[in-house]
Structure 1
Amino acid sequence: MADMNYTYEPVTTDVSVNQQTHRMEGGQLWRQYIIAGVANIAITATGFSMGWTSPVNLKLQNVTDSPLDRPITSNEEAWIGSLLNIGAIIGPFIGGLAASKIGRKWGLIVSSVPLFIGWLLVAIATNVGLIYAGRIFWGIAVGMLFTISPMYCAEIATDEVRGALGSFLQAFITIGFLLVYSIGPFISYSAIAYIGVAIVAIFDIIFFFMPESPVYHLSKNDRQSASQSLATIRGKSEAGVQAELDKMAADVKAAMDKTATIKDVFRGGNFKAFYISCALVFFQQFSGINVVLFYMTNIFNAAGSDLDPAIATIIIGAVQVGASCVTPFVVDRLGRRILLLISSCGTAIGLALLGMYFILAEKENPIAETISFLPVLSLVLFIITYCWGLGPLPWAVMAELMPMEVKAIAAPIATAFCWMLSFLVTRYFNSIADALGMYVAFWLFGVCCIVSFFFAMFVVPETKGKSLQEIEAILSGRARKEDKA
């Protein structure tokens, strides 16, 4: 965007009249929630794709239910679980380019293409190679969506609801997980694919009628379209949004006047925003969340729980949705840091209990039989507290911390880093569990959650209620200097 000639054209209407109109028009806050919710239907589609392995792994091990002519091996199962992450490492760079070239709205719509291709490959699969390819295409879409969706939600949101809209990603992805957990065990392999296609189609049809981000229009020097878009999002007349649009236009112009390169990501406040974002996604992935989600049915089978693994998985999925729906309502009241602290503490306890159960079961301790409920209880605690902080907040905080001029460069790198970690965790979890014991793997994840607690306490800045400019000042140290002055 550095080569664009941006001309700032102040509105000709009297500013005092604009401000008076702005005060008189209260706007419709619900519009921001609706628009962000529709945008995140695509995230539901990714949740459905990511959770697909939990019910389908069992089908692929049974020739009667599988499209393949033989059961898959444990090594093939590991690759099926992890290859989505390979695509997700590539996706953020495609997503970042699409967001800057064709816009946030069309970038989100285009992300449905690899989702459709993935479902087509999975639906017609007669060998493991086609399933591998389908998972990679799903991953590309996941990487694109996890880059563009938080960007879109942050840019359409007012300061007081930006945290809530940023938390939508986690809430909607859990809906996708619950859906595939609930119906996957009870319908055919092909039927699951048809439902996956239907979710993507619903997103494309409805989101087509949603507005583009006004920030994108301003970056293209199209103030009129930005005005119309912002008026639609706020539920006001165009005159009523001119004061906000003036400030937004000035911020966009200031960001575009700075020529951002990869070197700028590693300087001053930009680097602080970048390493905090990378650290948060590291703790998110090394909490073991994707291991739990991808291999949930396997975990219950290994634990020998009395509860039907399919039913237990549905319970966990429902808990996940319920917990994720809490965060948008409290994140802008309690703040990001306190939720991260609660989340890190709760996930560490849940993983410790899960590890304790598995070591008792491995040693054939009779106590394990009397506490067969513990895996479900531990995972419920883990999922609830994960969904309160470590799940949604790394993405919301990343969208808030990164300045506009470096976001297109830094956000895809941080997102790709996240999925690289996810690949390593999902690909080698079974190997570690087989070599050292499943309890060791869960305790390693628990230690990472403890480290996350202290990182959130001492390093992550609180962004509750602050504008993007105020956050940038905190990261660069200007805020502290001004306080001392």
Structure 2
Amino acid sequence: MEDRNYAYDPVGQTGAPLNQQAYRMEAGQLWRQYAIAGIANIAIASTGYSMGWTSPVNLKLQNTTDNPIGVPITKDEEAWIGSLLTVGAIFGPFLGGFAASKIGRKWGLLSTSIPLFIGWILIAATKNVGMIYGGRIFWGLAVGMLFTISPMYCAEIATDDSRGALGSFLQAFITLGYLLIYGIGPYVSYMVIAYVGIIFTAAFAVLFFFMPESPFYYLGKGDREAAAKCLASIRGRSHEGVQAELDLMAADVNASLEKTATVADVFRGSNFKAFYISCALVFFQQFSGINAVLFYMTNIFEAANSSLDSAIATIIIGVVQVIASFITPLVVDRLGRRILLLISSCGTAIGLGLLGMFFMLAQAENPVVEKIGFLPILSLVLFIVTYCWGLGPLPWAVMSELFPIEVKAIASPIATAFCWVLSFLITRYFSAIAAALGMGGTFFIFGACCVAAFFFTLFLVPETKGKSFQEIQDILSGRPSKPEKA
């Protein structure tokens, strides 16, 4: 696969005009940015493995067999185990934002392997539930850091026409981690699960060590030569062949360096518009109930008395997640963000409505429940597929696009931390709410939030497909923008 861009032609006799200069065509290698983003997202897959860990391990901890603690955990301990990862994730974004700006996107991403390793060591060596709590908190720190830095890195190495696809990698790779833990968790020991997690993290650290830094980071530090070297490596072109694109990047960075952003700037003008859109999208993402569903998926199938073994049903959902999530990178830069968000919010609302109806009927002991034992799986498949098309990946992709460079390092951690505060509330109190309202009522509430997400997207979310960072800022500010690229 080739990627083409115009390289500077001082004679001006070849190529086409771009930014008032003539450039000659030089072939590049588009696959390189996809490969680099894929390796960067191995860490995201590792966090998916960590986040899905509760689904098979909760059942082990509720028994005495293959339980490192030796005694079954209580319901309250189970709720804390599920939710403490999100507590760490609340603080992780601020560490991630600081690391990304001070040591770079590459080394910031690599540094996430430290809390991941610590978390797995605590889990592997655990003798009591407190060590499990600690491991989950360290995983959460890594999750918060990765969800801040990874979308930033992928957006900055991507061309305008590939940015949506690379931004969607986060959701796609996290589902690979979920599938792995769903696939092996029920069938291997507690310790084997931990060893696989350690190997997963080590694979990321070794492979990503050889990947390039973001050119934007070097330009921000005034090191154009290092930025050119990185960009040439990412694009698969010569040093001369990336000068045109580097000039555009440098113009964006220089404009941002003229401004000194503070927290107050996040709440002004177009920055605030970007901020409330980002926060609203992650609100709807979390209040779709996704983490409650994923963390307690096995429990949901047990509660539903599904005719299919809960472990097999969970693996089926994991496979569906992966397939659906890898569709989004293929179509997001063709269809656009808005249409996928609209389809996603509509589909998740229907899936949650069906799931809520099933539990309502089950609670009423309606005899029809015995004939529709397939409905929980069908509902969750619809929910997962449509979630993975939009509400899962696109809030992160859109967030990485909406904020200007000088505001991104401040605003993104705040919005990401907000996301994990919501996730904590849902995962910590899902069981209590479900006990008070019933599973049916709880899923109806989540479904209503998805309906609200549909109308919010319809009226307030701008389309960023194929737009440069400057064009997106023009849209948010209400300034005339260039026509959309074909």
Distance 1:328 1:304 in 2: 36
Counterpart in 1 of 2:4?
none
Counterpart in 1 of 2:132?
131
User: More displaced, 12-21 or 398-407?
Assistant: 12-21
Q: Structure 1 106/331 Cα, relative in aligned 2: closer, same or farther at 3 Å?
A: same
Counterpart in 2 of 1:105?
106
1:391 is aligned to 2:398: no
Counterpart in 1 of 2:370?
369
Whether the 8 Å contact between 1:22 and 1:241 is mirrored in structure 2 is: no
User: More displaced, 472-481 or 45-54?
Assistant: 472-481
User: More displaced, 380-389 or 251-260?
Assistant: 251-260
Counterpart in 2 of 1:249?
250
Counterpart in 2 of 1:83?
84
Post-superposition offset of 1:65: 1.4
Whether the 8 Å contact between 1:18 and 1:240 is mirrored in structure 2 is: no
Counterpart in 1 of 2:402?
401
Post-superposition offset of 1:190: 0.6
SS at match of 2:466: coil
Counterpart in 2 of 1:66?
67
Counterpart in 1 of 2:154?
153
Counterpart in 1 of 2:288?
287
Q: Structure 1 105/348 Cα, relative in aligned 2: closer, same or farther at 3 Å?
A: same
Post-superposition offset of 1:23: 3.5
Q: Which runs of at least 4 in structure 1 moved beyond 6 Å after TM superposition?
A: 17-21, 480-483
RMSD: 1.7
Amino acid at match of 2:418: F
Distance 1:375 1:390 in 2: 20
Post-superposition offset of 1:449: 0.1
1:424 is aligned to 2:425: yes
1:44 is aligned to 2:45: yes
Post-superposition offset of 1:16: 4.7
SS at match of 1:437: helix
Distance 1:302 1:60 in 2: 18
Amino acid at match of 2:237: K
Post-superposition offset of 1:418: 0.2
Q: Deviations over 1:115-152 (max 9, x none)?
A: 00000001111100000000000000000000000000
Distance 1:436 1:103 in 2: 47
Q: Give the alignment of 1:130-209 within 5 angstroms.
A: 130-209=131-210
Distance 1:117 1:251 in 2: 38
Post-superposition offset of 1:13: 8.7
Distance 2:333 2:482 in 1: 26
Whether the 8 Å contact between 2:356 and 2:439 is mirrored in structure 1 is: yes
Q: Deviations over 1:96-132 (max 9, x none)?
A: 0000000000000001100000000011111000000
Whether the 8 Å contact between 1:65 and 1:189 is mirrored in structure 2 is: yes
Distance 1:154 1:408 in 2: 13
Q: Deviations over 1:131-183 (max 9, x none)?
A: 00000000000000000000000000000000000000000000000000000
Counterpart in 2 of 1:354?
355
Post-superposition offset of 1:17: 8.6
Q: Aligned pairs, how many?
A: 473
Q: Structure 1 17/195 Cα, relative in aligned 2: closer, same or farther at 3 Å?
A: farther
Distance 2:480 2:311 in 1: 52
Q: Structure 1 481/328 Cα, relative in aligned 2: closer, same or farther at 3 Å?
A: closer
Q: Structure 1 262/16 Cα, relative in aligned 2: closer, same or farther at 3 Å?
A: farther
Counterpart in 2 of 1:7?
none
Counterpart in 1 of 2:259?
258
Q: Percent identity?
A: 73
Q: Structure 1 193/339 Cα, relative in aligned 2: closer, same or farther at 3 Å?
A: same
Whether the 8 Å contact between 1:303 and 1:375 is mirrored in structure 2 is: yes
Post-superposition offset of 1:443: 0.3
Post-superposition offset of 1:480: 7.4
Q: Give the alignment of 1:18-37 within 5 angstroms.
A: 23-37=24-38
Counterpart in 2 of 1:337?
338
Whether the 8 Å contact between 1:18 and 1:242 is mirrored in structure 2 is: no
Counterpart in 1 of 2:451?
450
Post-superposition offset of 1:428: 0.5
Post-superposition offset of 1:436: 1.2
SS at match of 1:143: helix
Counterpart in 1 of 2:321?
320
Amino acid at match of 1:325: F
Which consecutive residues of structure 1, in runs of 5 or more, have no partner in the other structure?
1-10
SS at match of 2:110: helix
Q: Deviations over 1:181-208 (max 9, x none)?
A: 0000000001000000101100011111
Q: Structure 1 114/345 Cα, relative in aligned 2: closer, same or farther at 3 Å?
A: same
Counterpart in 2 of 1:53?
54
Post-superposition offset of 1:390: 0.0
Amino acid at match of 1:267: R
Whether the 8 Å contact between 1:22 and 1:240 is mirrored in structure 2 is: no
Q: Deviations over 1:258-308 (max 9, x none)?
A: 010011100110000000000000000000000010000000000000100
Distance 2:23 2:312 in 1: 52
TM-score (norm 1): 0.95
SS at match of 2:231: helix
Counterpart in 1 of 2:96?
95
Q: Structure 1 285/12 Cα, relative in aligned 2: closer, same or farther at 3 Å?
A: closer
Distance 2:23 2:173 in 1: 32
